[in-house]
Amino acid sequence: MKIPFPSDTTIMQYAESDLASLTHYPFRFACGIQLLCVSGRSIISTGVEQYDFCETSELIFLAGSLIQVINPSPDFRVRMLLFPKEIFLKASLPIDTSYFNYITEVPYFNHAANDANLASWRRVNQWMDMAELLFTHPAKHFREQLEQNFLQSLFMWVFNSIPQKYLSIHNKYSRKQMLYHRFMFLIREHSTQEHQIGYYANQLCVTPRYLNEAVILYSNGRTPKQLIDEQLTAELKVQLSNPSLSVTEIAQLLNFQEPANMSRFFKKNTGMSPKEFRSLNKL
């Protein structure tokens, strides 16, 4: 099935969509993405994490994300802004990294639940109105400056709009709570290549045992290995949705030593073989 928007982009892009093409299987955006739900409701899944995405909700994934839409209502619709990593890196330079750490770990915000007057919701839609004006058709002149200035100003506004109480709560996270959030970010970024808990423990400078304790505490009893496998399974579905790739090529892309190992892993976690998955989705 053809996706009506790109997985990556070299320019800022604005779009409105029902995201219907993301209901069949996960899709990976390599670029940054901001989503506003303007009507209806769905579950947005990033693999191991799920968000109740209803009207007045916002999601921001700074470094891209795997996304699947689950059980959308008939009237579900979003406004979206796609931004390339290069522009994000330039726009983020003068901004305190602590804010980006917060957004990375807490990408979801419900404006109605945090602002009874919905003033922040109206304002974030004004930013989207400006994005529509600027980026529906690429500018002939000063495009890069327009993109960088817009994104930088948007982030500054977003960070100034985050209720101080949430920043204070985030800053008071326990060590294990912070460790859990950082682990979740790492598996979103690296699960395609790194399948074992030892890699993540090393990245976080803790022992596998301590990481196991922290993750079980804050993930409703799921172990780090279970979460890694869940994310890897979702990533496999993304690759299997591409009919131009063979199972052997996908196994290489996702760092399995042998295609048979990947097939066994996929069947264990989904109950079907890669071939059966592709047949079911008519790929």
**pLDDT digits 0-9 by tens, 151-198:** 999 999 988 877 665 555 556 678 898 899 889 989 988 999 999 999
Supply the pLDDT for residue 52.
96
pLDDT tens, residue by residue, 230-279 = 999 999 999 998 888 999 999 999 999 999 999 999 999 999 999 999 88
Give 116's DSSP letter: T
Residue 66: closest CA among 30, 16, 17 = 30
Q: Is 134 exposed, middle or buried (0-12, 13-18, 19+ CB in 10 A)?
A: middle
Helix, strand or coil for residue 41? strand
| Token digits of residue 241 | 């949705």
Look over the chain and give the mean of its residue pLDDT values, rounded to a whole number: 89
Are the CB atoms for 101 and 117 separated by under 8 Å? no
- Asked whether the beta carbons of 138 and 78 are under 8 A apart, the reply is no
Range 105-116 average pLDDT: 84
pLDDT band at 1 (very low <50, low <70, confident <90, very high): very low
Displacement of CA 202 from its chain's centroid (Å)? 23
13 has pLDDT over 50: yes
CA distance 26 to 28: 7
Average pLDDT for 38-51: 94
Domains located in the chain, CATH noted: 13-162 (2.60.120.280), 175-280 (1.10.10.60)
The residue count of the chain comes to 283
d(CA 80, CA 64): 13
Q: How much is the pLDDT for 240?
A: 92
Q: Residue 166, Cα to own-chain centre: how many angstroms? A: 21
Task: Look at 51-55, 76-80, 92-96 and tell me which has the smallest mean pLDDT.
Answer: 92-96
Q: How far apart are CA 61 and CA 4, in angstroms?
A: 19
pLDDT at 216 over 90: yes
Two tokens, residue 221: 């009893």
d(CA 248, CA 226): 24
The average pLDDT across 111-138 equals: 90
The rounded distance, in Å, linking the Cα atoms of 137 and 121 is: 25
The 10s digit of each residue's pLDDT in 203-212 is 999 999 999 9
Collapse the DSSP code of 217 into the 3-class scheme (helix H, G, I; strand E, B; otherwise coil) and give the result: helix
**Separation of alpha carbons 233 and 265, rounded Å:** 8
Cα 20 from Cα 42, distance rounded (Å)? 11
pLDDT value at 87 more than 60 = yes
pLDDT at 94: 82
Between the CA of residue 67 and those of 18, 19, 281, what are the distances in Å? 13, 10, 17
CA separation (Å) from 120 to 109, 114, 141, 272? 11, 9, 31, 45
pTM of the model: 0.82
pLDDT for 195: 95
* φ/ψ of residue 51, rounded to 5: -125, 135
From the list 66, 102, 68, 65, the residue with the least C-alpha distance to 85 is 65
